[in-house]
Amino acid sequence: MVCGADDWIPDESVERCAACREDFGIFRRRHHCRHCGYVFCADCSGQQYPLRQDGRQYYLRVCDRCFKLLADAEQAQTEAAERARQRTRTALLAETDLAAACYQEAQ
């Protein structure tokens, strides 16, 4: 999910980075996280993550918190899919062993 510009926290309403709480100014610019829409400094939003926008996938700026959240969710999904594949493989092997045993008995 991408947080569009219409959903972002307005620049004018933010004086400090949402993460480190440092004041914005000439040398510390505001950057919106494209996932949560909050405003961060460059140090706290230097990550990019593949997010879908307008039906396409782009690497977009995200804050450190959202990057960890998204990466952890992706890792959990990958691990769950691998466990499902292993269960399927184990079940298929068990069926193959059962079929072989039935075939041997029939002989």
Per-residue model confidence as pLDDT tens digits over 51-94: 988 889 999 999 999 999 999 988 988 888 888 777 776 766 66
Q: What is the pLDDT of residue 71?
A: 93
Name the more confident of 3 and 54. Answer: 54
pLDDT at 98 over 60: no
Give the three-state DSSP class for 2: coil
Distance, CA of 106 to CA of 38 (rounded, Å): 69
Distance, CA of 107 to CA of 105 (rounded, Å): 5
Distance, CA of 97 to CA of 81 (rounded, Å): 24
Distance, CA of 96 to CA of 101 (rounded, Å): 9
Which of 2-11, 58-67, 92-101 tops mean pLDDT?
A: 58-67
